[in-house]
Amino acid sequence: MPDLISKLFDKSVGLGVPLSVHIDLTMRCNEHCVHCYRVIEQRPELTTAELKALLDDVARAGTLYLLFSGGEIFLRRDLFDLIEHARRLHFDVRLKSNALLVTAEKAARLKALGVRQVDISIYSADPAVHDRVTKVPGSLERSLEGAALLRDAGITVKLNCPLMKQNVGQYKAIRALAERLGLLSGFDPMITAKNDGDTSPLALRITRKDLVQVLQDPAMNPDLGKPEPHEIPPGRPDLDEVPCGASHNACYVSAYGDVMPCVAMPIACGNVRDEPFAEIWHRSPEMMRVRSIRVRDLHTCSSCTASRFCTRCPGQALVETGDLYGPSPANCEHALASAQVAGSSVIPASMLRSSASAL
């Protein structure tokens, strides 16, 4: 099955089909997380009718995978109406939520509607640490109660943990908690800037030293211990490939209707209140510019010896440096940390040590 899905994603890139669409239903939230990148604007959010029309449009465009996120999606009174409409259109539906508002009745309804998975943000197995991140007393207990209700209803639940300075030492306990509850777990060390360009959340990112420690855990780094190829070909073999799926087979629609290549790439390509989704997807100059980029166009990354360890995010490069074609310093740190853990002989030691004093 993974091979089939991989082939599906590869084919969608070649055909220019927006296979995966992320829609934020609201920017409102009942938590106030210290690292959150969402910004509430003085604009009306998309109405029920507008969202249903959008779902019709993305279905016609060929979308299969649909993510509803926020803000907190359960703050929308029309949530179940929207999910029901999405399922009638045969979308594979995944939700992101803090689960504070989940009840047994809501969990059962989600199961009946055929929601595939709910991702819940958990920052620590320690209530004091988690609640300091969310700024809501009792939020860990309530989120876990919601997760259990969803699990008992037969829905796949994944605990997602953004790693930051406040909780980097907590990941093992979170993984153990997820296993004990029969849930999936995932961890991401990428803390991003706010949607309006405010970079203050970046100060919460973990250091390379902490990242190396995380990557040295085999449970967190499945590639650890795999043998390095005996011969590393000079240069990158993927110069004609696309840097990522943004604008190729995936995109993001904000709660206000703005269409962007990715939630991490703040390039407004159009608004569904002004023109149809398909028109923006296929003809927006901004979308086409992002779509035209190939690895060879990346003026630093195209020749980087750490490229095989890198998961470069062009959106992060744009936010951090203003250069869509350049490197993301955060991704560079992650790539070099991965190379260090792998003990790669092709990465100069001076490169591995670079910028460590600044972290």
- Reported as a single tens digit per residue, the pLDDT across 264-278 is 898 999 999 999 999
Distances (CA, A) of 272 to 21, 252, 268, 276, 288: 14, 12, 11, 6, 17
Q: What is the pLDDT, as a whole number, of residue 351? A: 44
Q: What is the pLDDT, as a whole number, of residue 228? A: 58
Q: What is the pLDDT, as a whole number, of residue 338? A: 83
Residue with more model confidence, 241 or 355: 241
Q: What is the pLDDT, as a whole number, of residue 192? A: 84
Express as a percent the part of the chain with pLDDT over 90.
Answer: 59
- Cα-flanking dihedrals φ and ψ of residue 270, to 5°? 155, 175
Instruction: Enter the tokens of residue 344.
Output: 């790669």
Q: How distant is the alpha carbon of residue 240 from its chain centre?
A: 25
Residue 353 pLDDT greater than 70, yes or no: no
**Contact in structure between 260 and 309 (CB atoms under 8 Å):** no
User: Which of these, 98, 317, 337, lies nearest to 220 by C-alpha position?
Assistant: 337
**Over residues 144-173, mean pLDDT:** 95
**Over residues 236-246, mean pLDDT:** 85
Q: Give residue 223's pLDDT band: very low, low, confident or very high (50, 70, 90).
A: low
* Global confidence as pTM: 0.90
Q: Give residue 193's pLDDT band: very low, low, confident or very high (50, 70, 90).
A: confident
Q: What is the pLDDT, as a whole number, of residue 234? A: 58
DSSP conformation class of 246: B
Instruction: Enter the tokens of residue 115.
Output: 């929601």
**Distance (Å, rounded) from C-alpha 93 to C-alpha 119?**
11
Residue with more model confidence, 18 or 228: 18
**Contact in structure between 182 and 155 (CB atoms under 8 Å):** no
Distances (CA, A) of 64 to 50, 89, 120, 238, 253: 19, 9, 22, 27, 15
Find the range with the poorest average confidence among 20-24, 124-128, 251-255, 318-322. 318-322
Q: What is the pLDDT, as a whole number, of residue 256? A: 97
Residues whose CB is less than 8 angstroms from the CB of residue 20 and which lie 6 or more positions away in sequence, other chains included: 63, 64, 65, 66, 67, 245, 249, 250
**What's the whole-number average pLDDT of the chain?**
88
Q: What is the pLDDT, as a whole number, of residue 66? A: 98
Q: Helices H, strands E: what count in the chain?
A: 13, 9
- Reported as a single tens digit per residue, the pLDDT across 206-217 is 888 888 888 888
Residue 241 pLDDT greater than 90, yes or no: no
The CB-based long-range contact list for 344-348 (8 Å cut-off, 24+ gap) reads: 344/228, 344/306, 344/309, 345/228, 346/232, 346/305, 347/305, 347/306, 348/305
Residue 324 pLDDT greater than 60, yes or no: yes
- Reported as a single tens digit per residue, the pLDDT across 37-73 is 888 899 999 999 999 999 999 999 999 999 999 999 9
Q: What is the pLDDT, as a whole number, of residue 107? A: 98
Query: How many Cβ atoms sit within 10 Å of the Cβ of residue 271?
Result: 16
Q: What is the pLDDT, as a whole number, of residue 349? A: 43
- Cα-flanking dihedrals φ and ψ of residue 207, to 5°? -80, 165
**Distance (Å, rounded) from C-alpha 191 to C-alpha 28?**
20
**Over residues 112-129, mean pLDDT:** 97
Distances (CA, A) of 97 to 70, 84, 145, 217: 8, 17, 13, 28
The DSSP bridge partners found for residue 21 are 66, 251
Q: What is the pLDDT, as a whole number, of residue 355? A: 38
